[in-house]
Chains A and B, each alone.
Chain A
Amino acid sequence: MKGRSVIVAVALAILGLGAAASPANAITTDFDFGRLSKQVEQYSLVMEMKLELSFGMQTTEQEITLLATVVSKDGLVVFDGTTLDLSDPFNTFSSFSIKSTPTRIEFKTLDGSTTYEGEYIGNDRYTKIGMARIVDSTGTEFPYCKFSNKASLSTGDWVALYYLLPEFVSPRVGADIGMVSTVIEMPEKFPMIVGFGPHELVSVLFDQNLNPLGVLGMLPDPASGSADGSMRSFGGDDFPIMGLIGADKIAQLVADPPVKGQIVRGWLGITLQALTRDIQEFFNIEAGGGIIVNEVMTGSPADVAGLKVGDILIDVNGQAIEVDTEEKLPVFQRRISEMGPDTPVEFTVIRTGDDLVDTTNVTAILGKAPIAATDAEEYENDKLEIKVRDLVFTDYMLYNVEPEEFSGVVVSELEPGGLANIGGLRIGDVVQRIGASEVNSVDEAKVALEALLEKDPSEVVFFVWRNNKTMFVNVKTE
């Protein structure tokens, strides 16, 4: 008897946590789970994925199982891509990025009756939603989840989802409920939901009318614009702030799936700084915030539009840029980024002369953002056990060199104990010459190296740039 009362007390305490903020008369569990599970079974798949994980020189294999949802009749599938995309579009300075590459994907229906082969498409940079496709040549129309953008969520609303249970359990999915704890302005609305865990990410969220509203996602970190940085201290532990990624975002992903290496981000071509209160006071400007243009890259959209070093951008397309701390910079970067290439953008610009302050309007046509190091073209040589990649924009920034004066390919991976590693090459070396051939791209590196190796030489000499100096590295081939 005593034991039982303890259990009840614990159960009440758990309920109490979840329900504390909800109105007393809310019917919290009024979901028709019978109907819901039938609906979910139709378009949910168990996704088994083999991954190759590499961190610097180390490579390991991993296998993960996820719950995936079919989102179009031709077999596009969304899943939790956080394990796949560990890179950050605004922080790609390091050549030591962790990379994971899916090597094999298999989909199974929840009852295990049918198996399909799958193909990885890409990850959305901001939400970390992974996308894959069912490989099918028969023209089958797959049952898929039709998301609704009609309903909106407000604080206190309850939502339900299904999540994947371990393989030895039948049925494979279980239900869970969570509550909208607040609606964050990002500036887009992001209904934050409590009660769910990271293992439930990218599960379909239903309201009490069983409308699929979207999927469970993480709050994009304002410091990077993407969801991988949102492991914020939350209730004492690092825990992602989760909430609804709505139907519109998913429709956008279906219409224009992310592709590895494809440039979809808008780019202005400036280095920038927040217009802090102190800087406003120094220049005698009153604004809610803004962007100081510190550098304008030659030939960039900003340059073409006539932006100048020292210009202060205070609004974009008539909307105030409320960036008054460095932490808010990514909000602006993300806004430009998400507008996409070829978009005209109008800025109100304050130009500070010696004593006069002048306000003018500048329209720039955004360009394509330079690709990130993780998306750069790569070439791997199995004999020397080395991987090189093309130089990207951020490399020039990192090495503080001008693209016109600097060329080569970056050593991105080396197998420990491999010939290139033993020969003395290091990760991060910029290879400028292989044998007698200048090397400006991975294609040239491939041609030069393979032509040399064909002659079965006893050594290959690399001319590399390392720590601001050049040197020759002799790699023995036997």
Chain B
Amino acid sequence: MKRILVVTAALSVLMLAGQARSQATQEKIYRARDRVYPALVHIQPVVKDYNTGELKKQAVIGSGVIFHPDGYVVTNYHVAGKAARIICTLWDKEQVQAEYVGGDPPTDIAVIKLDLSNHPDGIPVAEFGNSDSVQVGEQVLAMGSPLSLSRSVSSGVVSTKDRYFSSDVRLPSGERTGRYNLWIQTDAAINPGNSGGPLVDLDGRVIGINSRATLFANNIGFAIPINIVKRVTEAIIADGKVHRSWIGVHCQALQELEDYFGSDRNRGVLVSSIDPGSPAEESFIKAGDIILSVDGEPVSARFLEELPVFYNNIASRPSGSEITLTVLRDEEEYTFTVTTRELGDLQGEDFEVSDWGFTVKGITRQMKIDNQLRDSLGVFVTGVKRVSSADVGGLRSGDVITQINKVPVQDLGDFITRYGELSEQTGKILLTTRRGGAIRLVVLNLDKNEEDTLEG
């Protein structure tokens, strides 16, 4: 009897202590909420989709957070990047228009600017924290509009802070993403619609931008660390985009390959692949080279998670700058000078070829490399409208149009000019296309009667 009493007493002491702690935590959560919640934005962009062969406008939902008194809101590129118009709902439930300022597909970050004409007294602004000092296990709040349920808060902890995804991950608009940043993983519930919303620490500072959730899993969400976001948003406000230098090397973690290459641990970055026609190729850098230093500064990527540091090291230099790489090849050291180039846009500009029933985009250098095209000439077909003359003629998305009526097409501008000249024309138009390695001729039959029959 006595023993039970003792146990009970001990338990109640414990419970009291726990209650005190949880009360303190609760206070912190309220405080953190109050510092960011008013700056939370429910974003309803109308995005342009070209993938069905015609321009279609589609309303989507995302989240964002105001980070600048001038009305700048950070969100995801995959939320606002292709927006035709953007409507935002603010803390006071007022709806305002926003304009697209710019975006950065490689980090999936975009900036929009609110129209503040109805908010003469200013707006609440959230404060960015420091993602480098985030602790695994630290309690965090995710805020946003999951499944369009605006002003929702969920809570969890930082599950890990250095998750890396290889650059094979693509945004819905086709760009590769994830090469230049690590991710904060959290178990705070993140659902579609949370995209672009803030991940907040208990000091009420934004430590990440929630960007991704894992389908078929519970509570595995990913946020872009705010220190990356700070750099990207500054560049976007200044210039509409992030400029990156490019030399065309792809790297791989050196872990467990040191013996093979006869290299030291924690020294050097392994080059695994070289883009054709890149500065690295022109400077005779080869797959299998281990870059030991860049401009005399040692670099290292023994683990996957260290790769973004190296990629950013190269990317952050002004394009056109000469960099000196010290390289270990066949256990000897060599020095190479590489002149960087601007990475440029990952995807070209979209264009709807409405009279002919398909959509195209310009071919950027990165698209040429990604799609293994022999050159950048022509335009890239992104969609073909069903039962259009292009569809009937056999045009398919992924084809590259290289000629119209046997005259070469240089680029998207050239294509648009030629299309303008021919769009009123009926009769037949011959497109020469390339699909993978094979050339194909496609005849567009623009005979009005026949088209009517098909569509009727």
Residue ranges of A at the interface with B (Cβ–Cβ < 8 Å) = 271, 273, 276, 278-279, 281-282, 292, 294-295, 309, 326, 396-401, 459, 461, 463, 467-472, 474
Contact = CB atoms under 8 A, between A and B. Distances in A.
A271 B443 contact: no
A470 B281 CA distance: 14
B443 A397 contact: no
Contact of A398 (B252, B287, B436, B443): B436
5 contacts: A278-B445, A468-B370, A468-B372, A470-B274, A472-B288
Contact of B436 (A278, A400, A463, A472): A400
B250 interface: yes
A474 B443 contact: no
B272 A471 contact: yes
Interface of B: 168, 250, 252, 256-257, 259-260, 270, 272-274, 287-288, 369-370, 372, 393-394, 428, 430, 436-441, 443, 445
Contacts of A326: 394
A472 B440 contact: no
B268 to A, nearest CB: 13
Contact of B428 (A271, A278, A401, A468): A278
A469 B445 contact: no
A461 B256 CA distance: 10
A399 B428 CA distance: 33
B428 A309 contact: no
Given A278-B428, A463-B287, A469-B273, A474 B260 contact: yes
Given A398-B436, A400-B436, A459 B272 contact: no
A282 B428 contact: yes
Contacts of B445: 278
A399 B441 CA distance: 21
Contacts of A468: 369-370, 372
B443 A279 contact: yes
B439 A470 contact: no
Between A278, A282, A326, A461, the greatest number of chain B beta carbons within 10 A of the residue's beta carbon is seen for A278
A295 B439 contact: yes
B307 to A, nearest CB: 13
Nearest to B369: A468
A468 B250 CA distance: 12
Contacts of A463: 287-288
A294 B272 contact: no
Contacts of B443: 276, 278-279, 281-282
Nearest to A470: B273
Nearest to B254: A472
Contacts of B259: 459
A472 B394 contact: no
Nearest to A292: B441
B256 to A, nearest CB: 5
Nearest to B286: A470
B252 A400 contact: no
B174 to A, nearest CB: 15
Among all A-B residue pairs, the 4 with the closest Cβ atoms = A278-B443, A469-B273, A294-B439, A470-B273
Nearest to B259: A459
Contacts of A279: 430, 441, 443
Contacts of A273: 440-441
A97 B412 CA distance: 39
B273 A400 contact: no
A397 B438 contact: yes
Given A469-B273, A472-B272, A309 B437 contact: no
B331 to A, nearest CB: 12
Given A278-B428, A278-B443, 20 more contacts: A271-B437, A273-B441, A279-B443, A281-B443, A282-B428, A294-B439, A396-B437, A397-B437, A398-B436, A459-B259, A461-B257, A467-B168, A468-B372, A469-B272, A469-B273, A470-B273, A470-B287, A471-B250, A472-B260, A472-B288
